[in-house]
Amino acid sequence: MSADGDRDDAQRAAREATEALGAWAAGLRWDDVPADARERLQLVLLDSLGVTALGARQPEQAALVAAWRPAPGPAPLVGGRRTTTVEAAAWLNATALVRLELDEGHKYARGHPGAHGLPAVLALAADLGADGADTAAALLVAYEVAARFGRATTLRAGAHPHGSWGVAGGAAGCARLLGLSAGQVAAAVDTGAGLPVAGAFASALDGNPVRDAWLGAANLSGLAAARMAAAGLARTTGTAAGSLGGLLGTFDAAELTADLGTRWDVRHGYFKRHASCSFTHPVADAVLDLRPDLPADPDQVEEVVVETHSLGSGLARTSWDSRLGALFSTPFVVAAAVVHGSVGPGVSAEPARDDPRLTRLAQRVRVRTAADLDARLPAERAARVVVRAAGREHVREVPNPVGDADHHPLGEAEVLDLLSGWLDDDATVAAVRTVAAGLPAAADAGALLRELAR
C-alpha cells in the first residue's frame, strides 16, 4: 500500500475510534460507574486538590499569580484565597498541581492523565454551578480519555508527555460537563488532539518552568476545544493520527477503545510520596530501605550505582541550579534520601538543596540503563541500587515505587497522612477532604469548590 493509503487508513481508524470514545463519554453517568472506580476517582481528587494547595504556597507559584493579576470570577484558586475566571483558574491551578512533581500519574499512559483535565473541569463546574454527580462523571471522563490517549501515543525520543496527548482528555471532560451530544464530544476530543504542545524533555532536566506551563496550556486548550464543539466549530477528522502520530510520534487508535466500559484506567495510577520525577521514586525507595545500614556521615558513602530502565536513565545530572532541575536529577534524589531521610518538598527548596553534604554525595552517584529492568516495562518501573560505604556493599532492588496501584497502593489514610505532613495545616486538609468526598452528592459543585479558595 502507498504511503498516502497508510495515512488515510490511520486517519480513518483515529476518526472512528474518537467517535466511539465520544459516544461513551457523552453517555457516561456517575451511578453507572463501578464503586471501586468511583472511590479511586475521589481519592485522585483528594490527592490532586491537596497537592494543588501545597503548590499554591510555593514562592514560585505566588510570584506567577501576582504577575498574572487574575480578574475576579466564579472559579477558585485552590489554596489561593481568591476566586477568578475559568481560564485563569484552569491555568494557575494546573501549574500549582505540578509545581512540586507530586501529582498522581499513570505508568501505562506514561504520564499524568489527571493533571491534563481536572483543573479545567473543576473551573468550568464552578462557573456553571454544575450538579456534583455530573461534575464527578466529567472528571472521570477527562481522566479515562487522557489515559487512553496516553496509551495510544508513543512520543518521539526526547519529547516530554506534558501537554500533548492529555489535551484530548481535558476536552472530553469539559464537553461532557457542558452536556454536549456524542458527536460534539467526539469533535471536542478530536480538536483537543490537534492542540498538543511539543515539549522537550530537556527543559525539565534544565529546570525550565515552561514544563509546568505545558499543563496550564493543556487545560486551557481542553476548555477551548469543548467550547468550539459547543459552538458547532469542531469536526471529527482523525486529527490524532497526524498530530500525535505523524508529527510527535506514533499513534495506535485501537488503544482508544480497548476494553471500553470495562477497564477503568483510574484504578491503575500511582500516588507519589516523593517530590521528584516518578522515574526516581523506586530509586528513592531503595535508598531509604538501605539508609539504616549506611554510615551516619554521608561523606563515608564512597559510591552509589543506580541501575534503572531507559525511561529513567537520562535523569543523571549531578548538579542543578533550581528546584525543578533537582526534581529531575536522580543523583539529587539519592543524596537527599541519604542526607535528609526523605525526598519531601522541603529538600528541594532553598537552601536545603544546596547542602554541601548533599551536593558532594550527588557527585558520587552513577546512573545506568539495565537491559533486564528495561525488559520489564511497562508493568514494572524497577530500579536496582548499590551503595558502597565503609568497605561494605549494600544492594536493594524494587519492582515499582511505593504508591503504585500494582505494587504498594496507598489508600485514603496514607494519602491524608502525606498531605497532613506536607501542608501542616489541619484546616486545609479537612477542606480538600470534604470537597473530594462530598462532590458527587453536591447540588451545586461551584458552591462546594469555592470553599477551596478560603
Query: What is the residue-wise DSSP string for 35-102?
Result: HHHHHHHHHHHHHHHHHHHHHHTSHHHHHHHHHH-PPP-SEEETTTTEEE-HHHHHHHHHHHHHTTS-
Higher pLDDT, 207 or 7: 207
Please check whether residues 135 and 9 belong to one and the same domain: yes
Q: Give the per-residue pLDDT at 6.
A: 78
Question: pLDDT tens-digit profile of 209-229?
Answer: 999 999 999 999 999 999 999
Closest to 286 measured CA to CA, from 408, 450, 115: 408
Region 148-173: mean pLDDT is 98
CATH label of the domain that carries residue 339: 3.30.1330.120
Distances (CA, A) of 384 to 282, 333, 367, 370, 400: 8, 14, 10, 9, 11
Region 199-212: mean pLDDT is 97
Q: Give the per-residue pLDDT at 454.
A: 82
Mean pLDDT (the chain) is: 97
User: Using an 8 Å Cβ cutoff, are 18 and 244 in contact?
Assistant: no
Region 290-300: mean pLDDT is 96
Confidence of residue 351 (pLDDT cuts 50, 70, 90): very high
Q: Note the pTM of the prediction, 2 decimals.
A: 0.97
Q: Give the per-residue pLDDT at 215.
A: 98
417 assigned to some structural domain: no
331: CB partners within 8 A, 6+ apart: 316, 317, 318, 362, 363, 365, 367
Please check whether residues 63 and 156 belong to one and the same domain: yes
426 assigned to some structural domain: yes
Please check whether residues 293 and 379 belong to one and the same domain: yes
Q: Give the per-residue pLDDT at 146.
A: 98
Please check whether residues 384 and 304 belong to one and the same domain: yes
Confidence of residue 5 (pLDDT cuts 50, 70, 90): confident
Question: pLDDT tens-digit profile of 123-136?
Answer: 999 999 999 999 99
Please check whether residues 36 and 117 belong to one and the same domain: yes
Region 36-45: mean pLDDT is 98
Confidence of residue 2 (pLDDT cuts 50, 70, 90): low
Please check whether residues 242 and 113 belong to one and the same domain: yes
Helix intervals (H) in 79-198: 86-98, 118-128, 132-152, 167-177, 182-193
Question: pLDDT tens-digit profile of 90-123?
Answer: 999 999 999 999 999 999 999 999 999 999 999 9
309 assigned to some structural domain: yes
Question: pLDDT tens-digit profile of 416-453?
Answer: 999 999 999 999 999 999 999 999 999 999 999 999 99
As for how many domains the chain has, the answer is: 2
414 assigned to some structural domain: no
> Is residue 142 scored above 80 in pLDDT?
yes
147 assigned to some structural domain: yes
Place of cell 468526598: 437
Please check whether residues 249 and 306 belong to one and the same domain: no
The residue among 383, 398, 413 that closes a domain is 398
| Residue 158 CA, distance from chain mean position | 18
CATH label of the domain that carries residue 157: 1.10.4100.10
Closest to 25 measured CA to CA, from 155, 202, 168: 168
CA angle (449 as vertex; 443, 454 as ends), nearest 5: 135
71 assigned to some structural domain: yes
Please check whether residues 390 and 441 belong to one and the same domain: no
Confidence of residue 340 (pLDDT cuts 50, 70, 90): very high
Q: Which three cell numbers stand for residue 337?
A: 534520601
DSSP 406: T
Please check whether residues 98 and 162 belong to one and the same domain: yes
Note the residue count of the chain: 454
Share of the chain above pLDDT 70, in %: 99
Share of the chain above pLDDT 90, in %: 98
Question: pLDDT tens-digit profile of 394-409?
Answer: 999 999 999 999 999 9
What type of residue is 21?
Answer: L
Confidence of residue 1 (pLDDT cuts 50, 70, 90): low
Q: Give the per-residue pLDDT at 7.
A: 83
Place of cell 461551584: 446
CA angle (439 as vertex; 434, 441 as ends), nearest 5: 110
406 assigned to some structural domain: no
Please check whether residues 109 and 48 belong to one and the same domain: yes
Distances (CA, A) of 249 to 108, 143, 147, 208, 235: 16, 21, 16, 23, 23
| Residue 13 CA, distance from chain mean position | 27
Please check whether residues 116 and 186 belong to one and the same domain: yes
Q: Give the per-residue pLDDT at 51.
A: 98
Q: At what angle do helices 35-56 and 118-128 cross, to 10 degrees?
A: 90
- Tell me which residue range forms the domain holding 325: 278-398
User: Using an 8 Å Cβ cutoff, are 224 and 180 in contact?
Assistant: no
Please check whether residues 371 and 233 belong to one and the same domain: no
